[in-house]
Amino acid sequence: MDIAFVSPLPGDFGSFRQPGPFVMQSRSSETFSDCSGKWRPAKFAIAGILSHLGRKTHRRGYLHQKAHRLADYYEVLGVSRNANEREIKSSFRKLARQFHPDINKEPGAQEKFQEIAKAYGVLSDAEKRDQYNRFGEGAVPSTSPDLSSMDLKDILGDVFQDFFRGPGMRGHPAKGSTKGAKKGADLQCKIEVPFDLACFGGSHTIQVQREDTCKTCHGRGVNADVAKDQRCSKCNGTGTTLQVMQTPLGVMQTQLVCPKCGGTGLDPTASCRSCGGRGTQTQTQEISVNIPPGCKAGSQLRIRGEGDKGIRGGQPGDLYITLRICPSRDFVRDGADIYSEKVISIFDAMLGTSVGVTTVDGITEIEVPAGTQPCTTMRLRGRGAPKLGTKGRGDHYVTLQVEVPHSLNDEQRKLVSKLKEACQ
Q: Is 190 left (phi over 0), alpha (psi -120 to 50) or beta?
A: beta
10 in a domain, yes or no? Answer: yes
Binned at pLDDT 50, 70 and 90, residue 282 comes out as confident
What's the domain count of the chain?
Answer: 4
Binned at pLDDT 50, 70 and 90, residue 225 comes out as low
Answer yes or no: do 93 and 57 share one domain. Answer: no
216 in a domain, yes or no? Answer: yes
77 pLDDT above the threshold of 60: yes
Binned at pLDDT 50, 70 and 90, residue 155 comes out as low
Answer yes or no: do 309 and 208 share one domain. Answer: yes
pLDDT of residue 419: 86
- Residue that is last in its domain, among 290, 325, 360: 325
Answer yes or no: do 65 and 11 share one domain. Answer: yes
pLDDT of residue 139: 66
- Residue that is last in its domain, among 325, 342, 364: 325
13 in a domain, yes or no? Answer: yes
Answer yes or no: do 65 and 78 share one domain. Answer: no
What distance in Å separates the CA atoms of residue 357 and residue 391, rounded to the nearest whole number?
25
pLDDT of residue 224: 66
Answer yes or no: do 337 and 398 share one domain. Answer: yes
pLDDT of residue 14: 39
Answer yes or no: do 279 and 396 share one domain. Answer: no
Binned at pLDDT 50, 70 and 90, residue 85 comes out as confident
Answer yes or no: do 392 and 342 share one domain. Answer: yes
Boundaries of domain holding 124:
73-164
380, containing H or E segment: strand 376-380
Answer yes or no: do 202 and 316 share one domain. Answer: yes
pLDDT of residue 406: 86
Instruction: Count Cβ atoms within 10 A of the Cβ of residue 366 and give its class: 0-12 exposed, 13-18 middle, 19 or more buried.
Output: middle
What distance in Å separates the CA atoms of residue 338 and residue 89, rounded to the nearest whole number?
68
CATH of the domain at 395: 2.60.260.20
Per-residue model confidence as pLDDT tens digits over 62-74 = 444 443 445 688 9
Question: Across the beta sheet with 319-325, what order do the strands follow?
Answer: 187-193, 319-325, 300-303
Answer yes or no: do 91 and 152 share one domain. Answer: yes
260 in a domain, yes or no? Answer: no
171 in a domain, yes or no? Answer: no
How far is residue 222 from each of residues 235, 270, 273, measured CA to CA in Å?
A: 17, 5, 8
Answer yes or no: do 210 and 306 share one domain. Answer: yes
**Across residues 396-411, what is the average pLDDT?**
91
- Residue that is last in its domain, among 50, 69, 88: 69
Residues in contact with 276: Cβ distance below 8 Å, sequence separation at least 6, in sequence order: none
What distance in Å separates the CA atoms of residue 402 and residue 174, rounded to the nearest whole number?
78
Answer yes or no: do 64 and 80 share one domain. Answer: no
Answer yes or no: do 86 and 43 share one domain. Answer: no
110 in a domain, yes or no? Answer: yes
